[in-house]
Structures are given as C-alpha cells and as structure tokens.
Chain A
Amino acid sequence: MAQTIKGQTGEWEIVIGMEVHAQVLSESKLFSGASTTFGKAPNHNVALVDAALPGMLPVLNEECVRQAVRSGLGIKAAINLYSVFDRKNYFYADLPQGYQISQLYHPIVGEGELTIDLEEGESRVIGIERIHLEQDAGKSIHDQDPHRSFIDLNRTGVALMEIVSKPDLRGGDEASAYMTKLRSILRYLGTCDGNMEQGSMRADVNVSVRPMGSTELGTRTETKNVNSVRFIRQAVEYEARRQVELLESGGKVVQETRLYDPTKGETRSMRSKEEAHDYRYFPDPDLLPLQLNQDFVDAIAADLPELPDEKRARFEADYGLSNYDAGVLVAEKETGDFFETVAKGRDAKLAANWVMGELFGALNKAGVELANSPVSADALGGLIEAIASDTISGRTAKDVFAIMFETGKSADAIIDEQGLKQISDEGAIETALDEIIAANPAQVEKAKENPKLKGWFVGQVMKATGGQANPGVVNKLINQKLG
C-alpha cells in the first residue's frame, strides 16, 4: 500500500506518528533492585517499592539512564543533561502507586532522526521528537477465573523508553519500516532486546488522513500497543481507510484511543469519553532532577558500536556489495557479524551470495535461528575457499553445503570423503576431450556450424570425468578446439 488512499472524493494522504515503548535492557528495574528477568512466577520480581508499600522510595537505576543516553546517541539525538521525572496519576489495579513515573516536561533525550529503508533502495529520514524514560505497569490477567482478575507485578516498574516520532511517516509500509529500523538500531546498541512477542517493543500508532496537498493535520486516532511489524502495517491501513470512509460520508474522526484486533484485522474504540483521564502530571518530589555531565555522555558516545547505516555503507564500499545486499546483511547485527567472518580474506560477493542464498534458505526451511546454525561462519568460509580455489565447482558446492548443514562437518572433510575434488588439470581434461572429438566427427562438424551445440561436448566431458572436471577449463578447451 502506498502513502495515500484513493477515495471517492480524491486522494488522501496518510499521516502517521509513532510512540514506541521499548523495554530497556537492564538487570534491574528503573527505580528498584528487583530483577527484570522475563518468565518468572507471577509476583516473583517485586521489590517493596514496586508494590508501593508505605514509605518506600524510588532510587534511579543508573544503568537505565546509560541505556537511554546510548539509545539517544544511536538516533543522533540531542541528550538533555537536565531532565525531570514526573508523576502521571491514575488508578488501576496493576499500578500499585496510583501513578506512573515518567518524563513529560523534560525528557532525557531530545530531537533526533532515523533513516527508514524502503523498497527499490529508497530511504527517507524520519524525525524523532524525544525519548523519555518511564515505568512499565503490571499485568492484569482477566481470563483465568470467571469472577476475579489476577495481577502480576513482575513487570511493574521495569524501565521503558518511550520513543516518539514526528508525524513524518506516510502509509503502512513506512510505519512498519520505521519499527523495523528502530528495532534494529536498539538491538545493535544493546539497549532493548526487541523481542516483540514478549512485549519488549510495542507501538502506539497515531494515524490521521488529510486531502492530498493539504498541510494541516487531520484529527488523529491512537491505536495502542501494537506488537508486531506486520500488525502495524495492517492497523495503519485499516485505520486510514476507516477514517477516509468516515470523512467522505460526511462524518468526523473522533480523537480517541483504539485497539488493533489482529484476528479480525480491524481497530476499535477502547475508551469512552466519560472515562477520559486527567493525569495530573507534576514533578515527582521523591526524585531530584536528573543532572548528567557531558563526560558521562561522551564516554557512552565513545563506546557506541557501528550502527546499521554505517555498516551498510561500509559493506558497500569495502566489499563491493549492492545497496540491497548490504541492507539485508546489516538488518540484524548477528547477520552482519556472521557475514564479515565468512567474507574476511575471501571473495566477499561470493560470501554474500552464500550467506543470503543457501544459508538463509536452509535456515528458513529448517526453522533454525542464525545463532544456532549447524554451519558456522568459519565452516561456510571453508566452503567458499574450496570454490574460489577451484577445488570444487559451484554446482558441487551446493551438494557439499547440504551435507555440511546436515552433519556439521567441514567442507574439506566432505570433499575428501566423497572424492569430490574437481579436475582442473588441463592435460587430463584435454585427453578426455580429444577422445570424445575423435569418436564423434559428425557432432564436431555440427558444433562448428552451430556453437550452441558445444554444450553437448561439455556434458560428455563431465560424464567422462565423473562430473569432476572444472567447467571453466572444459569450456575454454572446447572453445579452443571447436573454434
């Protein structure tokens, strides 16, 4: 789907801003020493302050601050040396304090940007408004008992980064590309595991539409907690179409929060107006303003890893990869690292083709993650060396790879065991070819008239050498002899 929708009255532009909640990778919670480990028994990771016992006070976890700064630097953002934690007040069963500690007025990270990668090698820069730190809420479980709800406070107080984009995105593809890229950057930085199924990253998607050419923003809706890249695209597409249909039939878009239902593929209204909240934000008096010094920020900046955009440019420049291939290889840090290990000191293009072709294909088919690949980067490198040194042909290499994938053995071992080493000795191949030419004068004549028939000789030589003749050498000799 494009950036626009064709309605009955004309073309509409789809405008999207996203608020992504990314769980900060840290050992303990934002303001308590309780563990953040996922999957513990309910209410196992709960400190006194998480359960809001009387007199308990929050103490800021410095590691979470460092992670937020690191994330900010990763999106080339201004780091605010002065930031303030505010309380957002509302009552809910999974919010023991009766307020969430967040940063409304003075966030830790200011404006930044992120480049999204679109099809056909296009890219676009999307503005980021801010990143602030805040506490996650607990979990309400409504489906285990007909009469009661259960509360799990394990997640209560876990640090989140809320990353707010500007309304720069257009259409579902851009929205999902944004999430993909943001996830990639945070994973490179090691500030969020990006695990969307576990809720480590989820997006509130603000969608509005406006007539093409208009510069005013339409009324937006906010679809909450969308937790997959695919659902983001679907939610945008559904919501934009709903708004266009509403507007074209004379209706009005109501500013409201909505929910995406992936089974029905639709969004629906979450809250009625009567329950509209006044969050009564004010600076949390239990916490002093957060003052960072520039040295702290500089130290984090100096320690920043290479990020996907830089890596992609380097892969293009250093390895001569296409923009597309480089993009595929850098999307995940692990893939880029794997590729570089394979490519180091070897034919990089060949390495790229094998990683993206045979390896990805085999992993996909087997449903195995790259981290658990039975063929290590070094082993794949060995196979590529065998191809580059003409020890085996590309055709044979595919068979060898299949065995490697199955057995975990090295390429050399398989080539040795199965006697697959190809014949590149011109003398041996010439002898075989000469015999075939001598035995088939009629074919020789025909091939001289029609060069396409030379292929028959290639097949015969391969047959005679048990498929081990180097095809390059065979072709060269045939061309010489049959002119």
Chain B
Amino acid sequence: MSELNRLTIAQARKGMAEGAFSSVELTQSCVDAMEARADLGAFITPTPEAALEAAAEADRKRAAGDEGALLGIPLGIKDLFCTEGVQTTAASRILEGFKPTYESTVTRNLLRDGAVFLGKLNLDEFAMGSSNTTSYYGNVVNPWQSSDKPNMQLVPGGSSGGSASAVAARLCLGATGTDTGGSIRQPAAFCGITGLKPTYGRCSRWGVVAFASSLDQAGPMARSVEDCGLMLGSMAGYDPMDTTSVDTPVPDYTAELGAGVKGLKIGIPQEYRVDGMPEEIEKLWMETAERLRAEGAEIVEISLPHTHAALPAYYIVAPAEASSNLARYDGVRYGFRSDAPEGLPEFSSLEEMYATTRGEGFGPEVQRRIMIGAYVLSAGFYDAYYNKARRVRTLIAQDFSRAFEQVDAILTPTTPSPAFGITEEPTGVEMYMNDVFTVPASMAGIPGISVPVGMSKDGLPLGVQLLGKPFEEVGLLRVAQAVETAADFTAAPQLMA
C-alpha cells in the first residue's frame, strides 16, 4: 500500500503537476486506506469505483492541459451535501435510500475544479451532536487513542465526525464539513486536524440538508491551514439560488500565507476562561499566545461580555429553525416511511402515518431538538425565548465587531476538553457544553478555524480556535498558519491508515 494518502492537498497537487504520480494512484491509495480502516465507521456510503473513474478522468484532463485547482484530489463529502445519484442520508433513517437528482452548489464547485469524491462521510444525525454518536448508520471512531485508556474507543467529535476521523486517519486528503455551532471546529480539534468555518454566506447552502438555516455554513477540513485555503477557494462563492449567500469576490485564500503575524494584534477574550476548564487547555492556549508574541504579534486582553449568553441562545435558535426545517421529512415524497400497524393494510389517518414515520425515522437527539424548537416557538413562549435569543444574537455580534476594532484576530481554545470515550459520553446539557467556545462565532456569523497545537496529558490532540472579521478569511488563514508553524504539530493518530 502506497502512502500517497498521507500527503497534504498542496503536496499532492505538486506531485501530480510534476508527474510523480497520477490521481488514479493517489485515489487508489485512499481507497485502500478506506478499506483498511473501515472499522472507524467514517463513511456511510463509500464510492470507490466512481472515485477511481473520476481519478482516471482527472488524469486525462491533466494530460490535456487542464489545471483545475483540485484536479485529481480525493476528498470525502459529509453526507449532508446532496450528491447527484449518490444516496444522501444526513445520517438519518428518515432519508434512507434517498438519491438526489441534483448536486449541491458546494460539491458542484469542487467537481468543477476537478476534485475526486471518495464517498459520503458519517455525521451526527442531521448534524445534531458533538460526538457523532447520533448517526443511524453507527458511531464514528476517533483514530486517536488515549495513553491512559488505549483500548477505549473515542468519539471524533461532531457533527462532522466522519469528516474529521477520515482526514485524521488519512483516508482522504480533505473533506467537506458543515458547522452550525462548532460542527467543523470541534471535531477538527478532537481529531488533530484543521477545520475552517467560513463567514456565514461565504459558501452556498443550496443542496445542503438544512439543520439551522441562519447558522449552517459549509467549510473545509484538512491536514493543514494551506489545504483549508485551497479547498475554500473552490467551495466558496455567491450563489443566486441561496439568497443568504453573499455576492463578494472569492479571493486567493492562500495569498497571505507565510506573511507571519508581525504587527498584528491578537485578542484574548477573558470570558473564555470558564470554570472547570482543564489546566492543560488553558496552558496550551497561553502558550500559543506566547508563540504569536514571539513572532511579533501584540497580544491584547479583550472582553466579549455576552459570551455567557451565547450557548443558551444557540440552543433556542438552532432547535427552533430545525423544528421547522425538518417538518418536510414526513414519509410522503422520499426516504423512509413506516409500515402500517401490523395486521392493518394502512394507517388510520394521515396524522398517524406522519407520527409513526417521524417517530421511527428520527433518532432521540433529533426528536429532542424538534420538541425544544416547537416549544420555544409556540404561542406564548415566542417572545420569551425566540425573540430574546435573537436579541442576544445581536449583542454577541456587537461584542465581536467592537473587539475587531481593537484586534485583527481572536485566539481561544476550540473545546473545553480533549476527545472523550464513546461509552463515557456526557448527556444532555453537559454534551451541549462542548460547543461553548465555538457557538459565539456561529451566532455572530464570523469565520473561525481550529488548528491543532498540542497534546493532552493522555496523548490526545488539542486545538485552538482563531476568529476573524467577516469575509476576511485570507487574513484569518494567515494567522492560523503562523500558529500552525509555531506549534509544529506532527503527531499522528494510532489508527492511521
């Protein structure tokens, strides 16, 4: 088995451009890796044959002089993106067997630039979760193992857990993710890779199964900051089919890489020092700040006073939108429909068919959020919950815009803990605490990136998060790469292919 699968996107681009190897060889290496590490459960629907065909086509194109930005690069696609002719499930039973007749804008953009798709990656059901344990198609396993409990399977984080696990285990060179409250950044941190949530409106949501429309944003997950920039360059762009996408030019996201941080101001928000945060996380956070200072950045203490309200507000807004977005899954037009009660030819009413189908088709976490969402929107509670949450959201956005008058980027931990065991996963509100550092940026719509910078005492990766100004991903990636270079994170997971 070749180790081409371990290359970064930038390295693979170079290798193929120089004729060192073909996309078929590179893709075959990933296909072999996928088979070797099928036990991670990263893929719901692998498509190796189609991938190898696409790779051969990419090689033909290259021979004909095509130089697409991602020509021949094998990627994994989170199974929340609709892909034409390939089952798209959102990790839910209710979409079992659904094959879209259309291609999401983001994946279409990637295909336009020559990317090769290896298959559809596992995730939390409808992207609801922070551990990838809510998928109907099984848990995803983190390729990292704790030195303390080496036999315990760890969660990869969520919801883009399949994406993070696959990228970390070298099953693909990069993967698409989506981030609603941290679903790219948190699993990236848990799996020791880099994940970028772009500014809301930067990537089209058209053809992405909706969770919370005002928060959902697609982004790249890869093994370097540069790779994230390369992928975003293809994924991003205005789409007239998504009126919340923003009509602003797509720059070269790698343009400022290597420029360093000299003279930049980096903010450290005091409100992110939360109670009960492990010391090793705080230490790594401060170490990262010190490294940036050493590189010539100015470290500035800042305040984001409404941070504490972000998480509760998020858990009102996101379920509210989800409860409505998921109403379309009713068993009528596509996907799963329950059988009529035993011994009966049909349901007694439309309502019974809906209720049974949705009861059997949605898992418990999705049902919980639908109920929370329906509750906070119901008559009499709307103002107290939903409207208040919207006001909180405005305040959070104001916090950030004030902070960005002072600083160029904000540095925080990505998660309050390293990856935990699948069997020791927290429940309910405790689980929701995983998103405490990632949710504020989601609520404000600003870009954020998680970069692996060190290890926990148990040998698990830890990440820091950098937040930037809206639509200034170029500058954010520049700072992120400085962090990446300074941290020099080279550890690899035990279950790597």
Binding site for B on A (CB under 8 A): 48, 51-60, 87, 89, 91-93, 96-99, 147, 149, 151, 278, 280-282, 284-288
A285-B213 contact in complex given A54-B95, A59-B241, C-beta closer than 8 Å? yes
The answer, yes or no, to whether B208 is at the interface (CB within 8 Å) is: yes
Against A, the Cβ 8 Å flags (1 = close, 0 = not) of B201-231 are 0000111111011100000000000000000
Q: Hey, which chain A residues are within 8 Å of B240, CB to CB?
A: 59
Among B241, B324, B333, contact of A89 (Cβ-Cβ < 8 Å): B324
What separation, in Å, do the CA atoms of A26 and B243 have in the docked complex?
Answer: 20
Q: Hey, which chain A residues are within 8 Å of B49, CB to CB?
A: none
Q: Hey, which chain B residues are within 8 Å of A91, CB to CB?
A: 327, 330, 351, 354
- Cβ contact within 8 Å between A96 and B333: yes
Among B81, B328, B351, contact of A96 (Cβ-Cβ < 8 Å): B328
Against A, the Cβ 8 Å flags (1 = close, 0 = not) of B372-397 are 00100111001000100000000000
25 contacts between A and B (CB under 8 A): A51-B333, A52-B333, A53-B82, A53-B100, A54-B82, A54-B90, A54-B334, A55-B100, A57-B205, A57-B206, A87-B324, A89-B327, A89-B377, A91-B330, A96-B332, A97-B328, A98-B326, A98-B327, A281-B382, A285-B213, A285-B321, A286-B210, A286-B213, A286-B244, A287-B244
- Cβ contact within 8 Å between B320 and A52: no
3 tightest A-B contacts by CB? A98-B327, A285-B213, A280-B377
What separation, in Å, do the CA atoms of A54 and B213 have in the docked complex?
Answer: 12
The answer, yes or no, to whether B132 is at the interface (CB within 8 Å) is: no
The answer, yes or no, to whether B102 is at the interface (CB within 8 Å) is: yes
The answer, yes or no, to whether B8 is at the interface (CB within 8 Å) is: no
Q: Give the shortest distance, in Å, between B458 (CB) and chain A (any CB).
A: 39
Q: Give the shortest distance, in Å, between B81 (CB) and chain A (any CB).
A: 8
- Cβ contact within 8 Å between B243 and A287: yes
Q: Hey, which chain B residues are within 8 Å of A56, CB to CB?
A: 206-207
Among B98, B206, B208, B324, contact of A98 (Cβ-Cβ < 8 Å): B324
Interface bin, chain B: 35 or more
Q: Give the shortest distance, in Å, between B41 (CB) and chain A (any CB).
A: 22
- Cβ contact within 8 Å between B332 and A93: yes
- Cβ contact within 8 Å between B377 and A54: no
What separation, in Å, do the CA atoms of A149 and B353 have in the docked complex?
Answer: 14
B81 and chain A: residue at smallest CB distance: A55
A278-B354 contact in complex given A53-B100, A285-B212, A286-B244, C-beta closer than 8 Å? no
Which residues of B, 330-357, contact A by the 8 Å Cβ criterion?
A: 330, 332-334, 346, 350-351, 354
Q: Give the shortest distance, in Å, between A100 (CB) and chain B (any CB).
A: 11
Task: Name the residue in A51, A149, A280, A284 with the highest tally of chain B Cβ atoms < 10 Å from its Cβ.
Answer: A280
* A-B contacts besides A285-B213, A287-B243, 15 pairs, CB < 8 Å: A51-B333, A53-B102, A54-B88, A55-B205, A55-B209, A87-B324, A91-B330, A91-B354, A96-B332, A96-B333, A98-B324, A99-B327, A280-B382, A285-B321, A287-B244
- Cβ contact within 8 Å between B334 and A53: yes
Chain B residues touching A, majority SS = loop
Q: Hey, which chain B residues are within 8 Å of A55, CB to CB?
A: 81-82, 100, 104, 205-210
Binding site for A on B (CB under 8 A): 81-82, 88, 90, 95, 98, 100-102, 104, 205-210, 212-214, 240-244, 320-321, 323-324, 326-328, 330, 332-334, 346, 350-351, 354, 374, 377-379, 382, 386
Q: Hey, which chain A residues are within 8 Å of B378, CB to CB?
A: 278, 280
- Cβ contact within 8 Å between A57 and B327: no
Chain A residues touching B, majority SS = loop
- Cβ contact within 8 Å between B242 and A57: yes
- Cβ contact within 8 Å between A147 and B95: no
Q: Hey, which chain A residues are within 8 Å of B330, CB to CB?
A: 91, 98
A54 and chain B: residue at smallest CB distance: B209
Q: Hey, which chain A residues are within 8 Å of B333, CB to CB?
A: 51-53, 96
Among B81, B102, B214, B350, contact of A285 (Cβ-Cβ < 8 Å): B214
What separation, in Å, do the CA atoms of A55 and B90 have in the docked complex?
Answer: 11
Q: Give the shortest distance, in Å, between A179 (CB) and chain B (any CB).
A: 31
Task: Name the residue in A52, A97, A282 with the highest tally of chain B Cβ atoms < 10 Å from its Cβ.
Answer: A282
A99-B324 contact in complex given A54-B88, A54-B209, A286-B244, C-beta closer than 8 Å? yes
Q: Give the shortest distance, in Å, between A94 (CB) and chain B (any CB).
A: 10
- Cβ contact within 8 Å between A282 and B206: no
- Cβ contact within 8 Å between B324 and A282: yes
Among B104, B206, B208, B328, contact of A52 (Cβ-Cβ < 8 Å): B328
What separation, in Å, do the CA atoms of A57 and B214 have in the docked complex?
Answer: 12
Q: Hey, which chain B residues are within 8 Å of A99, CB to CB?
A: 324, 327
Q: Give the shortest distance, in Å, between B326 (CB) and chain A (any CB).
A: 8
What separation, in Å, do the CA atoms of A284 and B386 have in the docked complex?
Answer: 13
Q: Give the shortest distance, in Å, between A465 (CB) and chain B (any CB).
A: 78
What separation, in Å, do the CA atoms of A54 and B351 have in the docked complex?
Answer: 21
What separation, in Å, do the CA atoms of A394 and B210 have in the docked complex?
Answer: 74
Task: Name the residue in A87, A149, A286 with the highest tally of chain B Cβ atoms < 10 Å from its Cβ.
Answer: A286
- Cβ contact within 8 Å between B324 and A60: no
Q: Give the shortest distance, in Å, between A258 (CB) and chain B (any CB).
A: 22
What separation, in Å, do the CA atoms of A53 and B101 have in the docked complex?
Answer: 10
- Cβ contact within 8 Å between B210 and A282: no
Q: Hey, which chain B residues are within 8 Å of A286, CB to CB?
A: 210, 213, 243-244
- Cβ contact within 8 Å between A282 and B212: no
- Cβ contact within 8 Å between A288 and B324: no
